Amino acid sequence: MLAVSGALHVVAGGALALAPASFDRMPLAGAHIVEVKMVTLAPTRPREAAPAPRPAPPPPPPKEERVVIPERVRAIEPEPPKPKPPRQQPAPEPEPEIDYGDALEALRDELGEPDPAAEPEPDDDAVAPVAGSATGRTVAPEVARWVSRVKRRVRGAWVLAPGFHTQTLQTDVEVFLGRDGEVKGVEILRRSGNPWYDQSVERALYRASPLPPPPEPGSWPFSFSPEDAR
Amino acid sequence: MIPRRALLAIGSLLAAVAVAAPASGQGRPTIDIRGARGEGYHAAVQRFLPDPGADRAAAELQLALREGLEFSSLFTIVDEKAFLEPVRSPALDRVRTPRCANWSQIGADVLVQGQVFTTADGIRVEFRLWDASSCRALIRGKRFTGRAQHAGRLGRVIADEIVAAVTGTPGVSDTEIAFVSDRTGDKEIWVMDASGGHQRAATRNRSISNFPDWSPSGDAVVYTSYRYRNRPWLFVVSRGTRSPGRILRGLPKDHRMYRGVWDRTGERLALVMSVDAAADIYLVHPDGSGLRNLTRNRAIDVSPS
């Protein structure tokens, strides 16, 4: 047994020893031997080492670079004096808009269903003290319901550029409402410090006009902030 | 008798109605509006009145202006078919308040009017922007001049001005984006319009070019390229020039510059450079003068911005 095993090992060893030689014999088409010598380069002096008046370091031919950025169009003439913004004029003939929120609410009113999106409203005429209010005043339910509808409508009409959403801004205004809810005028009581923000507030009120008819015509205070209460 | 719990519930419900201290003397609750939900403004753009011979430029400008406004995502354009007023803008030679009610009625928030004049070497464009609801001029008159073939560009410039008049921040339709592309087989710096159009190569180095950064004025780009001795080096390419400037030519060869960015003034660059193994942040003027360390430590400091 041992003899058989030994003979097999000898045969296998011989085959392995011969195999590389057979691979070497395979012809390499078009091959040639390149001899490489590793040498150490003498340290070259940096050609661009000399500073200021441009030492001209051309050796490796710098490739020509072409720049294809076209020239810009420029504003040539300055803007004539800009009109200083506000001094609000009453809006000329605001037209009614379709407000699906209002339409839905009207339907809910008709069916006696509560509005899931609306702020909580009292369901009777009771006038209770308002917790947390600085004045402890109360609001009648019909006013609260109107306020809720007005909020929804004005928010839907208010457009803010993305940059404003993260800022702390507040604009307080007094809005003059007609009996039918038409926005007759807007007076800014407290400016935010950003005129474009203040303008967006005014624009929102006129865009939202006419608001739902108020409980009483006249002036109503509004306060606008970018913070989203959702 | 109403249970105490019910009374408390009513009280807290009322508190949620957002009643604050009265701002007016009439004792009415302040209506708190928190968060805007409007999706955008509607802009009515009357066709700019062209001088004889400027029809084509005016049409090109008009198209670019409308596209520029819509690109801002702030405006949608009111269809001309809805106009109650003429499609074509009136002459702006005298201040004339438009019939704002007719624009509000079709849902327009702003109205753009303009005129295109021919000049000796191109065109001059004047325009006016109205707030339709208040009937107030947001831009009473602004003029731009340029070559007739740049009418589209003028249209985008005007669109960006209109965005600025409404938001306080100019629009970006006339801006450009610098980027790296290997579509030619090598990484090169390319430039395109903000909308993705008009793509063109800014470098043809046939090497590796990377990390482009616009100067604040938009007149130059700094980038890193290996085109010089296969080492990373900073180059500044300026608008209208054909050969880019290599920054800091005189540095020893063991220095490596990896990336540069402009500061806000455009007067200096912050760059990442390694002298030994560790990279540090340096400041330098675009002409290579005034080089100084901003950081100096053994750690690797990168990515200034």
Residue type, A59: P
Class of residue A230 by CB neighbours under 10 A (exposed 0-12, middle 13-18, buried 19+): exposed
Lookup: tokens for B160: 């960006």
Residue in chain A closest to B209 (alpha carbons) equals: A65
B121 with B197, same domain: the answer is: no
At residue A228, the 3 state secondary structure works out as coil
Tell which of B141, B167, B193 closes a domain: B167
Residue in chain A closest to B37 (alpha carbons) equals: A156
> What pLDDT does residue B21 have?
39
Lookup: tokens for A114: 């509560």
CATH number for the domain harbouring residue B138:
3.40.50.10070
> What pLDDT does residue B56 have?
94
B71 with B130, same domain: the answer is: yes
Contacts of B274 (CB under 8 A, 6+ apart): B255, B256, B258, B280
Per residue in A162-192, pLDDT (tens digit) is: 888 888 899 999 999 999 999 999 999 999 9
Binary contact (B218, A72; C-beta < 8 A): yes
Q: Which residues pair with B210 in a beta bridge?
A: B224
Residue in chain A closest to B24 (alpha carbons) equals: A221
Q: How many domains does chain B have?
A: 2
Contacts of B43 (CB under 8 A, 6+ apart): B69, B75, B76, B77, B78, B108, B109, B110, B111, B112, B162
In a domain, B30, yes or no: no
Lookup: tokens for B80: 């001309």
Rounded to a whole number of angstroms, the CA Rg of chain A reads 42
> What pLDDT does residue A9 have?
72
In this prediction, the residues of chain B whose per-residue pLDDT falls under 70 are 1-26, 95, 242-244
> What pLDDT does residue A166 have?
80
In a domain, B7, yes or no: no
Per residue in A106-155, pLDDT (tens digit) is: 555 455 454 554 444 333 333 333 333 344 467 888 999 999 999 999 99
With beta carbons less than 8 A apart as the criterion, state whether B103 and B111 touch: yes
B145 with B257, same domain: the answer is: no
Contacts of A21 (CB under 8 A, 6+ apart): none
Closest CA to A72 of B145, B95, B266, B300: B145
> What pLDDT does residue A107 have?
59
Distance from CA of B16 to the nearest CA of A (A): 7
* Residue A209, CA distances (Å) to A93, A170, A186, B58 in order: 10, 21, 11, 36
> What pLDDT does residue A6 have?
65
In a domain, B10, yes or no: no
Contacts by A187-190 with C-beta closer than 8 Å and gap 24+? A187/A88, A187/A219, A188/A86, A189/A221, A189/B23
Give ∠ CA B191-B195-B197 in degrees, rounded to 5.
55
Q: For chain A, what is the mean pLDDT?
A: 65
C-alpha span between B11 and B27 (Å, rounded): 19
With beta carbons less than 8 A apart as the criterion, state whether B163 and B112 touch: no
Range of the domain at B125: 41-167
Closest CA to B158 of B177, B144, B140: B144
> What pLDDT does residue B242 have?
66
Tell which of B167, B201, B229 closes a domain: B167
C-alpha span between B62 and A48 (Å, rounded): 52
Of the CA atoms within 13 Å of residue A62, those in its CB half-sphere come to 14
Asked if omega into A61 is within 30° of 0 (cis), the reply is: no
Give ∠ CA B216-B242-A71 in degrees, rounded to 5.
50
> What pLDDT does residue B93 have?
83
The structure tokens 């001029």 sit at B137
Per residue in B38-64, pLDDT (tens digit) is: 999 999 999 999 999 899 999 999 999
Q: Is A138 on the interface with B (CB under 8 A)?
A: yes
Number of A–B residue contacts, CB under 8 Å? 268
CATH number for the domain harbouring residue B185:
2.120.10.30
B90 with B130, same domain: the answer is: yes
C-alpha span between B140 and B127 (Å, rounded): 8
In a domain, B304, yes or no: no
B52 with B111, same domain: the answer is: yes
Q: Which residues pair with A220 in a beta bridge?
A: A175
B163 with B45, same domain: the answer is: yes
Q: Which of B7, B24, B31 to mutate to test the interface with A (most CBs of A within 10 A)?
A: B31
ipTM exceeds 0.85: no
Closest CA to B258 of B237, B245, B272: B272
B202 with B146, same domain: the answer is: no
Contacts of A105 (CB under 8 A, 6+ apart): A115, A118, A149
With beta carbons less than 8 A apart as the criterion, state whether B160 and B177 touch: no
> What pLDDT does residue A139 have?
80
C-alpha span between B123 and B50 (Å, rounded): 10
Binary contact (B227, A62; C-beta < 8 A): yes
Q: Which of A41, A54, A63, A65 to mutate to test the interface with B (most CBs of B within 10 A)?
A: A65
Q: Is A36 on the interface with B (CB under 8 A)?
A: no
Distance from CA of B148 to the nearest CA of A (A): 11
Answer positive or negative: Cα dihedral of B10, A154, A132, A127: negative
Per residue in A58-114, pLDDT (tens digit) is: 444 434 344 444 445 444 443 444 445 444 444 444 444 445 555 555 555 455 454
Q: Which residues pair with A175 in a beta bridge?
A: A186, A220
B198 with B139, same domain: the answer is: no
> What pLDDT does residue A120 have?
43
Tell which of B167, B200, B232 closes a domain: B167
> What pLDDT does residue B291 have?
85
> What pLDDT does residue B60 have?
95
Closest CA to B170 of A52, A55, A75: A75
C-alpha span between B268 and B251 (Å, rounded): 18
With beta carbons less than 8 A apart as the criterion, state whether B272 and B279 touch: yes
Lookup: tokens for B50: 């062209």
Residues in B closer than 8 angstroms to A159, CB to CB, are 36, 38-41, 74
In a domain, B162, yes or no: yes
C-alpha span between A3 and B53 (Å, rounded): 109
Class of residue A207 by CB neighbours under 10 A (exposed 0-12, middle 13-18, buried 19+): buried
C-alpha span between A108 and A106 (Å, rounded): 5
> What pLDDT does residue B245 have?
79
Lookup: tokens for A150: 């007005």
Lookup: tokens for B10: 């009513």
In a domain, B18, yes or no: no
Binary contact (A93, B204; C-beta < 8 A): no
Instruction: Report the CATH number of the A100-116+139-160+167-224 domain.
Output: 3.30.1150.10
